[in-house]
Amino acid sequence: MDMALEIAVAAIKIFIVLNVVQLVVAYTIYVERKVIAHAQMRLGPMRVGWHGLLQPIADGLKLFLKEDIIPDKADRIVFVLAPVMVLVPAFVVYAVLPFSATFYITQINIGLFFILAISSLGVFGIVMAGWASNSKYSLLGALRSAAQMLSYEIFLGFSVIGPLMLAGSMNLQEIVHAQSDVWFVFYQPIAFIVFFIAAMAETNRAPFDLPEAETELVAGFHTEYSGMKFAFFFLAEYANMFVVSTVGIVLFFGGWEGPDFIPLPGFVWYVLKLSVFMFVFIWLRATLPRYRYDQLMRVGWKFMFPLVMLNIFLTGFLKYLFL
Amino acid sequence: MELYFFYMFSGGMIITSLLMITRANVIHAALLLVLTFFFLAGIFVLAGAEFLAAVQILLYAGGIMVLYLFSIMLMNVEVAVRMRQWHRQGVVVFVAAVLLGLEIWAVLKGVEFPAAKQWEWSLGATPGNVEALGAVLYTKFLFPFEVASILLLAAMIGAIVLAKRTIER
């Protein structure tokens, strides 16, 4: 009976997390449109509801009712599977994210490694989408995306090693506990900068949104997609943004723990930190121009890679000397 | 419970690998190979080696297979699909398969499958634990570990030399 109860509790938690994430994604898109609009001296969505507050729901309905087109020359099976392949890894990762001291779906002792492994699968969906569409624009977008995500995954993986060495565990809750005195961002500033840049590239956000560069490639890998399948790609992009932000918060900003002198519950701290992260993502999109492809690769391999290696070496050296 | 999962994963592995070698479309074959890796990772988890399972997915599925797809996507798959996959080697293949089958049967005939052996460097109460793996890798198996890294370094330098020559030309 115990096992049935456990499964029921887990199922309820999964249900809550999935639905909340989808709703939050819809409203993040609304916030993004508003922030970018104001950055460009516009008003943004204003028509549906007070200051356009119902706009995400209207958009969702529109996408849901749109005709779902599968191109004649497309590889049907792969074309249909691609959006699923993007969305599933993005949501599976939520299984190990710690939202507060008590609210999480599960804890495993390779938590961080699990996140890296699963999120490395998202690129498959993009590559499949680009190839199955049987269109030049899609294929070019997919190729760019595969190269970009593979390279930046390496920097992302190496940048988390520094905080891991300090925490001495891959369990995300234990990493949070290890930072109850000082946030790791003060010990690991280089790692944080590399992590943040790599995270932006991994989620295909501006200034690294080359796979969907609309000025050159129409819409990159999802040019041929419409309706709900297009919405899946959108949903996965924002779900991934939440994941990398949460990992950044856990590794460098003390997770759901806040300073002791302000008594707020852990979940509130988590939401506050997450909001800051998301705002910075949106802010950078409104500010920075897109990288060129060769610039992207040069910055990655010739600047960030040596930097992150140096960081691992320095962390090990200083830890050996002082701890 | 674990036995059911084992049959699920191993059955899935056999089905996906059979499908993989019978596809004419190379991209489909590559994607099915990824699926096979997933089932293999599942078996690793059942064996208590969750670190190995994560490495399996991160490196093979997330890294190497993406590079495979990357190069396959650049070729014209439709021509390959329309080509007739026949190399007039049926007889040779049949003889080889029968011989291999006999060999496997001869080897496995007399073997009694023992209970899982408990190694002296057992990973302890929490198997697959990262700390335990690191400790074993840097003490007991330090030499093979270093040999493997030197091999990889040599391969990397070789690749750079080869790539550089074509650029200069």
Higher pLDDT, B95 or A101: B95
- Place A216 in a pLDDT band, splitting at 50, 70 and 90: low
Answer whether A110 sits within 8 Å of B50, measured CB to CB. Answer: yes
Answer whether B58 sits within 8 Å of A124, measured CB to CB. Answer: no
Q: Which of A113, A166, A154, A128 is nearest to A314 (CA)?
A: A166
Beta strands in A162-277 (DSSP E): none
How much is the pLDDT for B120?
A: 44
For residue B127, pLDDT over 60 is answered with no
Q: Which of A219, A244, A213 is nearest to A97 (CA)?
A: A244
How much is the pLDDT for B125?
A: 47
How much is the pLDDT for B123?
A: 42
For residue B153, pLDDT over 70 is answered with yes
Q: How many helices (H) and strands (E) does chain A have?
A: 15, 0
- Place B129 in a pLDDT band, splitting at 50, 70 and 90: low
Residues of A in contact with B66 (CB under 8 A): 123-124, 127, 146, 149-150
Answer whether B58 sits within 8 Å of A108, measured CB to CB. Answer: no
Q: Which class for A245: exposed (0-12), middle (13-18), buried (19 or more C-beta within 10 A)? A: buried
How much is the pLDDT for A150?
A: 81
Q: What is the mean predicted confidence (pLDDT) over B77-83?
A: 68
How much is the pLDDT for B103?
A: 92
A215: helix, strand or coil = helix
- A110 contact B CB<8A: yes
Answer whether A120 sits within 8 Å of B51, measured CB to CB. Answer: no
How much is the pLDDT for B124?
A: 43
How much is the pLDDT for B100?
A: 94
Residues of B in contact with A139 (CB under 8 A): 73
Task: Say which residues have a Cβ less than 8 Å from residue B27's Cβ, sequence separation at least 6.
Answer: A75, A78, A131, B69, B72, B73, B77
ipTM score over 0.95, yes or no: no
How much is the pLDDT for A215?
A: 65
CB contact at 8 A, A176 and A255: yes
Answer whether A109 sits within 8 Å of B73, measured CB to CB. Answer: no
With a CB-CB cutoff of 8 Å, which residues 136-155 of chain A face chain B?
139, 142-143, 146-147, 149-150, 153
- Place B1 in a pLDDT band, splitting at 50, 70 and 90: low
For A45-97, the pLDDT digits (tens) are 878 778 878 888 888 888 888 877 777 777 788 888 888 888 888 888 888 88
Higher pLDDT, A198 or A3: A198
